[in-house]
Amino acid sequence: MPALLILGIFTFYPMVKSVVFSFQQYNMIKTAPDGRICPPRTVGLKNYQRLMNDPLFHKAMINSLKYLLIVPFIQLFAILLAVTVNRKIRGIGFFRAAYYVPVITSIVVVGIAWRWIFDSNGLLNFILVKKLHLFAHNIGWLTDPQLALYSVMFVTLWQGLGYYMVLYLAGLQTISPEFEEAARIDGANKAQVLFKVTIPLLMPTIALCSIISCISALKVFGEIYVMTQGGPDHATDTMVYYIFSKAFMQFDMGYAAALALVLAVFVGLISLINTAFFKKGGLQYY
């Protein structure tokens, strides 16, 4: 009962209230002539009609879809990293902890550090331009609309790699070494063992991590807020950041609630597609 009470107050009630707000026009700080805050006004489907004609909504949705591009890369690198550290050698615990440090580091600290690295006069341009002479001039990693989103995506990949590494490491340690030994006896090399034995047996973990990673990519916020705040020229606006800006910068709660509901439905569809893909794609141990 205590757990249900907490969930009811902080999860279920806000969810229901958001659905109600999505059909209303509600400004948190707009006041009537008598000084009272104006109550919500029902407008039907106008918020949803508005988002269909909102170019910034379209851009934010496209950017959120682009963010899904990091999912296969983060899963592949995390698997390779987990295989690398899944060895009984001296000092391997240190490397496992080192790879996990970015996960437990505050996103504010991570964002500020990478913003400094990506600065026009920052460390990355200093190395590429001044030391290695790979480019003739400094690159605007966070100021170029063509590069800003991908720069932030790289930070998300870098920070999340250790989290999925731990999940895959746990999955690897549930696989009996007898399977690898049998494959070695049959003459399989390391690559064949990895792709023909280890990865198929790791499929349940891959399915779980892929779904979690997709949801996290669509819900990304901290990196955007700290590093770019949606700029330049809304090039890094994602759905969650756009919802945040509408709700807590412009105080347009009704429209923000409609955006949030659309995002929730979209996240649910992506999760269903992921589940169906792994079930249909030969996931024997799902």
Average pLDDT over residues 130-151: 93
DSSP, collapsed to helix, strand or coil, labels residue 146 as coil
Q: Phi, psi at residue 206, to the nearest 5°?
A: -65, -40
pTM over 0.85: yes
Domains of the chain are 53-280 (1.10.3720.10)
Average pLDDT over residues 177-182: 89
Calpha distance 154→131 (Å, rounded): 22
Comparing 13-22, 189-198, 204-213, the range with the smallest average pLDDT is 189-198
Over 12-79, what HEC string results? HHHHHHHHHHCCEECECCCECCCCCECCCEECCCHHHHHHHCCHHHHHHHHHHHHHCCHHHHHHHHHH
Q: Strand 41-42 vs strand 24-25: parallel, antiparallel, or unpaired?
A: antiparallel
What's the confidence (pLDDT) of residue 3? 93
What's the confidence (pLDDT) of residue 190? 85
Residue 282 clears pLDDT 80, i.e. is over it: no
> What is the per-residue pLDDT across 30-70, written as a single tens digit (0 to 9) for each?
766 666 777 888 999 999 999 999 999 999 999 999 999 99
Match 């949606």 to its residue by tokens: 230
What's the confidence (pLDDT) of residue 34? 67
> What is the per-residue pLDDT across 10-39, written as a single tens digit (0 to 9) for each?
999 999 999 999 999 988 777 666 667 778
What's the confidence (pLDDT) of residue 90? 82
What's the confidence (pLDDT) of residue 281? 59
Average pLDDT over residues 237-251: 94
Which of 208, 207, 244 is closest to 223 using CA atoms? 244
**Which tokens in the block code for residue 18?**
């958001």
How sure is the predictor about 285, in pLDDT bands with cuts at 50, 70 and 90? very low
What's the confidence (pLDDT) of residue 88? 80
> What is the per-residue pLDDT across 78-129, written as a single tens digit (0 to 9) for each?
999 998 888 888 888 888 889 999 999 999 999 999 999 999 999 999 999 9
- Is the C-alpha dihedral spanning 81, 84, 88, 91 positive or negative? negative
Residue 215 clears pLDDT 90, i.e. is over it: yes
**Which tokens in the block code for residue 109?**
């600290």
Residue 135 clears pLDDT 50, i.e. is over it: yes
Residue 284 clears pLDDT 80, i.e. is over it: no
Calpha distance 91→96 (Å, rounded): 9
What's the confidence (pLDDT) of residue 286? 41
